[in-house]
A and B are shown apart, each in its own frame.
Chain A
C-alpha cells in the first residue's frame, strides 16, 4: 500500500491505495509492442508511404532546378524543356499529395484501432479483477486512466511516430553523406553529438519523473471531482461546499505545479538542442574554412556538407520539440498497463463446472479476514440441506454480509471449505458458483438504461410479460407505470425522483426475473415499508419455495418462518435453531427479538 504521492491536507481523494506494481520501461514497451505487432502490415505500408513521399519531396527541387535552367534569358527560353519539367512537377506534386493522404489515412486508422484495443483490453481486464481491487481504487483515478491516459498514448502514436520515422531516415542518410564528403569534418561535427545526447538523456530522465507526477495528479484531480460530485447531496447537507472548494484548489494547485514543471523542463530541450546544433554548425564552418585554406576541401563540398548537417539536426530538433508528448505518453502507458499487471480473480484450480444443482450447501470451519490482522469470520460451520431457508441475524458488523460474500466467491477465505452439492467450490469456476445464486443487496445499483433493461439484467431471455409480472409481484408495477415513459423511462443510480425503497423494489424484481436455483437476500427490503414488504412477501415465498435461501435481515418478522436461524456474533455462530427453539432458549435471539418491541 505504498503511497508516495498522497495529497496532504486535502479533505478527500487521498492518493492511490491500490498496490499497483511499478512497471519498468521494458515492460511498457513490450506491452506497446503487443499492440503495434497486430498492425505490422499497416506499419510497413506507412513506412513505404513515408519513404516514397520523402523521395518525391527530394526530387522536386531537382526538377524545379531543371525548369529554371530552361530560362536562359529574354527570348531564349526553351519552352519545350520548360513544359516537360512543369508537367513532371505536376505529376510529382499530385502523387506526393496522394501518398501523404494515404499515409495519413493509414496512420489514423491504425492509431484509433490501437487505442480502441488498449481501452477494450484494459476494461475487460478490470472486469476480471477481484473485489478487493474495487474496494481500494478511486473510481475517478481509474476513469482518468481509461480516458485521459489512453488518449495521451493515442496523440503520441498518431503524430509523432511519423516524425520519428522520417527523422531516422533523414539522420542516417545525412550522416552517410557527410562521412562520404569528409570524414574529418564529420568528426568535428560529431564532437557536439555526445553532449547533445547526454543532455537529452539527462533531461528525459528528469522529466520522466515530472510527467509521472503530472499524470498522477491528473488522476487525483479526477478522483477528487468524482468523489465530490457523487457525494454532492451530503456535501450540501453539511455546507461543505467551501471546504470542498478549498480541497479542490489544493489538488488543482498541485496539478498546476507538476504540470508546469514537466512541461517547462521538456520545453527547454528544443531551444537548447537548436543552440547546440548552431554551435556545431559554427565549428564546422570555422574548421571547414581552415581546411579550405589548406586546400583540403573545396567550396561545393563544404556547402553540401553544411546542407547535410542542417538536414541532420532538423529531425533531432523536431523530436526535441515533441519530447513532452512522448514523455507524457510514456507515463500514461505506465499507468494504463499497470492495471493489466493486477492479477485477475480467477484461480488456476477453478477447472470444474456446475450445471444444475440441487442446492445443498456445506460450510466447514471457515476462517476469513479482509486484512491480515483482523479476523472477521472464525470457525464458521453450517450445514444447509437442499431447499432449506437459512436466516442470519446478529448485530451490525457481526459478519453477516461477509458470509454472503464468501458464498458468492467475492473473496477467498483463508481456511475451511464450502461445498455446493458436495463439490468444493475452490475448484469450481467462480462464475458457475455465482450463477447458482440470485442476490439482492441492500445497496441498490441501477445503470443508465430503461427500467425494462434494468429489470432484464438478471436474465436477458426474459419476455416483456415475464418482466412485467415480476415487477407486479415486487409491487413495483404501479410506480413504474407512473414514470413518464413507463417501462421505457431511462433511469440511473443518480435519479433523485425515485425513492430508495422503490429502487429496492426494482432490484427485487430483477432477482425475480433472474429465477436462480438459490437465493441470497442481504437486507433486501431494508428501505421498503412493512406493508409493501408484506405484499411482496407472497412473491418472495413463491420464489423461495424449494430453493435454498440465505436471508439476512434485521426485521425479525421477515425471518420468523426460516427453517434455521443462526445468530452471529463477532464472526461466530452463537445460536442456531428455529424461531420457537431459540425463543425458548432465552438467549441472544430472545433478546434480539424482543428488542424490536421495546419502548424508549
Chain B
C-alpha cells in the first residue's frame, strides 16, 4: 500500500461507517418487500384496513430511515473520497517540489501530470464506489450464503463446489488485467507527451507543415490507449456472464438435487423456493462485479504509480544543521575546487577538474564555445545538481552544508531559458522577492531597461501575461526575467547568457546600470559577446568542460588562444568611426 495507504488511513473509520450505513440502508430496502407481503396477505386479502394502516406507517418510517441512512452514507462517501484525493494531490505536489532536476527528468513532466491527476482519480473513484456500491456485494453474498447454509446444509455443498471456480475466475481476471492497466496508464503518459509537445512546438510544426505527421503520431498513441482499454475490456466482458453462468449452474443443480431430496422426503417444495431466492440474492449482488474488478486493478496500478512518486527521493536537500552563509566576512564569494561532473545517463563528463574563485564584489565573466559547460557551472552553483567530485563554496561555506533556500536566495540566477508565468508582470517580478514594494519593482525594471516599455502599457505592472508570455518579444521576456533576478537583491547575481536577445545598445545600458546601481553585488556573467565580457575583473575561459584561461581581458588576450580566437571572431571588423 505504501504512501497511498498512509493517506487512506485517517479515513478508514469513516469509510467503514459510511459503508455500513449504506449496507443498512440497502437492508432496509430488502425488508420492505417482506412488509409488503404482510400488507397484502394479512391486510388487503382479509380486508383488514387497520393492519394496512399499521404496516403502512411502519413502512413509511422504515423508508424514511433508509433514505436518511443512504443520504448520509453518500454524503460521507463523497466527502471522504474528495478529501482523500485532495490530500494525496497536495502531498504529491509538495513532494515533487523537493525533486531535483534529475528526478524530474527521470519521471518526466507529462507522466507527473498524469499521475497527479488521472492516477489519483482512479484511486479516488475506487474509494467512493467501495462505500457507495461495492460493500453491498460481499455483504449480500455472504448474507445470502449464510441464510442458504442455515436453511439446508446438504444442498449448500453445491455452493462449496462452486467456490474454487469463482476463485479461478477472479484470479484469472486480476492476473490478466493488472499488466494491461499498468500499460494503459503508461500509454496515457505518452499521449500527454505528444499533446504537450504540439502545444509547445506549434510554430515549428506549422513552419515545417508537419501537422499530418503529428496527427499520425497522436493517432498511434491514441491507438495504444485504445488497445489497452480494449484488452482490459475484453477480459472483463467475460467476467460478468461467466460468474452469472456459474451461479445459474448452481441454481440448476439445486433444482435437480432438490427434486431428488423432495422425492426422498428430505425437503419441502417451499424450502426449495426459499433456497432459490437466496441464490438469486447472491446472484444479484454480483451485477457490479466486473466494474469492481476493473476499478480495483486499475486503482492498484495507479496506486503503484503514485507510490513511485513518493518513493523517489532527491539526494539534494538541506542538511540537518545547515551552516549560514556570511558574505560579509568571506574573502571569496564563490570558489570551485577540483569540480568534476557528469550528467545522469550521460557517458561524457561535462566538467573536468574545474577550479577557480572570485572575490566578493568582483565581476566574473565566463566565456567559451557551445557545450563547454558554462551553464553546468550555474547548475552546480545553486545545487540543481551536486558535483561528482570536488567542492563548491559560496561565502566560504560548502554549498552542500547550506540551507537550500538560503543558498538560492543569496545567489540570484537569471536562467538562460526565460520562463515567465501566466500572471501579472508585477507578480512575475515578485518571484524574486515576495514582499517587494512597487518602488523596488520599478527600480529593478529600470535597471533591466524595461521600465519605459512597461510604463506605456495600459495596465503597466498589472498587465497580465499569458502562459510563456507569448505576448512579449524575446528581448522583453529576457528583461523581465532579469528584473526578477535583480529585485531579489542577492549577494551574487548570476546571468546565464540572459541578455542574448537584447540589442547592443540596450545590453550596454543594462550592464552600465547593473555596474553602477548594484556595486556591492558579486556578478557572474555568462556571455557570448566579447563586449559583454571584456571589462570583467576576471574572465574564465572554458573549453570541453575544462578551464583553459583565467585572468583579465589583456592577460587572456596575450596568453589564451581560445580567447584570442573568440575576440577575433567578433572584433575582426573593429569599430567604424565615420
Segment from A118-126, A172-180, A181-189, A197-205 that makes contact with B:
A118-126
CB of A527 within 8 A of CB of B256, answer: no
- For the complex, give the distance between the alpha carbons of A98 and B237 in Å: 11
Which one of A14, A86, A282, A460 lies within 8 Å of B423 (CB-CB)?
A14
CB of A435 within 8 A of CB of B209, answer: yes
Counting CB contacts under 8 A, is B248 at the interface? Answer: yes
Which one of A82, A104, A112, A306 lies within 8 Å of B240 (CB-CB)?
A104
Chain A residues with CB under 8 Å of B98's CB are 241
CB of B71 within 8 A of CB of A140, answer: no
CB of B528 within 8 A of CB of A493, answer: no
**What would be 10 A-B contacts, judged by CB atoms less than 8 Å apart?**
A68-B255, A112-B226, A115-B229, A120-B222, A233-B419, A260-B78, A278-B60, A285-B39, A499-B376, A529-B369
A-B pairs, top 3 by smallest CB distance, nearest first, are: A396-B475, A501-B370, A74-B265
Counting CB contacts under 8 A, is A45 at the interface? Answer: no
Counting CB contacts under 8 A, is B117 at the interface? Answer: yes
- For the complex, give the distance between the alpha carbons of A365 and B422 in Å: 34
CB of B45 within 8 A of CB of A238, answer: no
Counting CB contacts under 8 A, is B392 at the interface? Answer: no
- For the complex, give the distance between the alpha carbons of A288 and B32 in Å: 17
Counting CB contacts under 8 A, is A293 at the interface? Answer: yes
Segment from A20-28, A350-358, A438-446 that makes contact with B:
A438-446
Counting CB contacts under 8 A, is A215 at the interface? Answer: no
B267 to A: closest C-beta gap in Å = 9
- For the complex, give the distance between the alpha carbons of A146 and B195 in Å: 8
- For the complex, give the distance between the alpha carbons of A599 and B242 in Å: 85
CB of B431 within 8 A of CB of A410, answer: no
CB of B201 within 8 A of CB of A445, answer: yes
Task: Pick the most buried of B25, B244, B504: most chain A CB atoms within 10 A of its CB.
Answer: B504
B83 to A: closest C-beta gap in Å = 7
CB of A74 within 8 A of CB of B474, answer: no
Q: Mark B234-260, 1 if CB is under 8 A from A, else 0.
A: 101110111011001101100110111
Chain A residues with CB under 8 Å of B68's CB are 271
CB of B258 within 8 A of CB of A278, answer: no
Q: Mark A94-117, 1 if CB is under 8 A from B, else 0.
A: 101110110011001100110110
Counting CB contacts under 8 A, is B169 at the interface? Answer: no
Chain B residues with CB under 8 Å of A383's CB are none
CB of A221 within 8 A of CB of B117, answer: yes
Contacts A239-B405, A252-B86, A494-B105 known; A299 to B427 CB distance under 8 Å?
no
Counting CB contacts under 8 A, is A38 at the interface? Answer: no
Chain B residues with CB under 8 Å of A86's CB are 252, 255-256
- For the complex, give the distance between the alpha carbons of A442 and B218 in Å: 26
CB of B44 within 8 A of CB of A147, answer: no
Residue ID in chain B nearest A507 by CB atoms: B204
A68 to B: closest C-beta gap in Å = 6
Q: Would you list which residues of chain B between 540 and 578 have a CB under 8 Å from chain A?
A: 562, 565-566, 569-576, 578
CB of A82 within 8 A of CB of B259, answer: yes
CB of A599 within 8 A of CB of B226, answer: no
Which one of A146, A154, A583 lies within 8 Å of B578 (CB-CB)?
A583
Counting CB contacts under 8 A, is A394 at the interface? Answer: yes
- For the complex, give the distance between the alpha carbons of A120 and B56 in Å: 57
Q: Would you list which residues of chain B between 206 and 236 have a CB under 8 Å from chain A?
A: 206-211, 213-215, 218-219, 222-223, 225-226, 229-230, 233-234, 236
CB of B408 within 8 A of CB of A238, answer: yes
CB of B413 within 8 A of CB of A237, answer: yes
- For the complex, give the distance between the alpha carbons of A528 and B237 in Å: 58
Which one of B45, B200, B262, B571 lies within 8 Å of A597 (CB-CB)?
B571
Chain B residues with CB under 8 Å of A434's CB are 206-209
CB of B434 within 8 A of CB of A243, answer: yes
Contacts A237-B415, A238-B488, A583-B578 known; A75 to B105 CB distance under 8 Å?
no
Main secondary structure of the interface of A (DSSP, over half): helix
Chain B residues with CB under 8 Å of A98's CB are 241
CB of B263 within 8 A of CB of A531, answer: no
B202 to A: closest C-beta gap in Å = 5
Contacts A230-B419, A594-B576 known; A528 to B40 CB distance under 8 Å?
no
CB of B200 within 8 A of CB of A445, answer: yes
Task: Pick the most buried of B29, B263, B348, B497: most chain A CB atoms within 10 A of its CB.
Answer: B263
Q: Mark A134-147, 1 if CB is under 8 A from B, else 0.
A: 11111110111011
Chain A residues with CB under 8 Å of B188's CB are 147
Chain B residues with CB under 8 Å of A137's CB are 199, 467
- For the complex, give the distance between the alpha carbons of A269 and B264 in Å: 51
Interface residues on chain B, size class? 35 or more
B413 to A: closest C-beta gap in Å = 5
CB of B116 within 8 A of CB of A225, answer: yes
A400 to B: closest C-beta gap in Å = 8
CB of B109 within 8 A of CB of A494, answer: yes
CB of A527 within 8 A of CB of B370, answer: yes
CB of B244 within 8 A of CB of A100, answer: yes
Which one of A234, A268, A526, A531 lies within 8 Å of B419 (CB-CB)?
A234
Segment from A417-425, A538-546, A585-593 that makes contact with B:
A585-593
CB of A123 within 8 A of CB of B113, answer: no
Task: Pick the most buried of B78, B242, B368, B565: most chain A CB atoms within 10 A of its CB.
Answer: B78
A-B contact count (CB 8 A): 520
Residue ID in chain A nearest B346 by CB atoms: A497
Contacts A260-B78, A434-B206, A497-B343 known; A93 to B109 CB distance under 8 Å?
no
Chain A residues with CB under 8 Å of B213's CB are 457, 460
CB of A71 within 8 A of CB of B259, answer: yes
- For the complex, give the distance between the alpha carbons of A233 and B496 in Å: 13
Which one of B52, B210, B223 lies within 8 Å of A457 (CB-CB)?
B210
B10 to A: closest C-beta gap in Å = 15
CB of A275 within 8 A of CB of B63, answer: yes
Chain A residues with CB under 8 Å of B59's CB are 278, 282
B290 to A: closest C-beta gap in Å = 8
Counting CB contacts under 8 A, is A270 at the interface? Answer: yes
- For the complex, give the distance between the alpha carbons of A242 and B575 in Å: 50
Residue ID in chain A nearest B409 by CB atoms: A239
Q: Would you list which residues of chain A between 396 and 453 have a CB under 8 Å from chain B?
A: 396-397, 401, 408, 410, 431, 434-435, 437, 439, 441-443, 445, 447-448
Chain B residues with CB under 8 Å of A370's CB are 471
CB of A264 within 8 A of CB of B78, answer: yes
A355 to B: closest C-beta gap in Å = 15
Which one of B63, B255, B505 lies within 8 Å of A82 (CB-CB)?
B255
Task: Pick the most buried of A116, A299, A499: most chain B CB atoms within 10 A of its CB.
Answer: A499
Residue ID in chain A nearest B272 by CB atoms: A68
CB of A282 within 8 A of CB of B101, answer: no
CB of B90 within 8 A of CB of A532, answer: no
Q: Mark B459-500, 1 if CB is under 8 A from A, else 0.
A: 000001011001111111011010010001000000001001
CB of A292 within 8 A of CB of B47, answer: yes
Residue ID in chain A nearest B94 by CB atoms: A245
- For the complex, give the distance between the alpha carbons of A591 and B408 in Å: 39
CB of B503 within 8 A of CB of A396, answer: yes
- For the complex, give the distance between the alpha carbons of A234 and B379 in Å: 11
Counting CB contacts under 8 A, is B512 at the interface? Answer: yes
- For the complex, give the distance between the alpha carbons of A268 and B61 in Å: 18
CB of B370 within 8 A of CB of A73, answer: no
Chain B residues with CB under 8 Å of A119's CB are 218, 222
Chain A residues with CB under 8 Å of B357's CB are none
- For the complex, give the distance between the alpha carbons of A518 and B565 in Å: 32
- For the complex, give the distance between the alpha carbons of A94 and B247 in Å: 11
Chain B residues with CB under 8 Å of A158's CB are 233
Chain B residues with CB under 8 Å of A136's CB are 466
- For the complex, give the distance between the alpha carbons of A590 and B200 in Å: 38
Residue ID in chain A nearest B536 by CB atoms: A600
Which one of B97, B113, B404, B508 lies within 8 Å of A143 (CB-CB)?
B113
Counting CB contacts under 8 A, is B501 at the interface? Answer: yes
Contacts A127-B214, A497-B346 known; A143 to B195 CB distance under 8 Å?
yes
B414 to A: closest C-beta gap in Å = 8
Counting CB contacts under 8 A, is B148 at the interface? Answer: no
Chain A residues with CB under 8 Å of B74's CB are 264, 267-268, 270-271
CB of B421 within 8 A of CB of A11, answer: yes
Which one of B47, B105, B415, B531 lies within 8 Å of A596 (CB-CB)?
B531
Task: Pick the most buried of B251, B405, B423, B528: most chain A CB atoms within 10 A of its CB.
Answer: B528
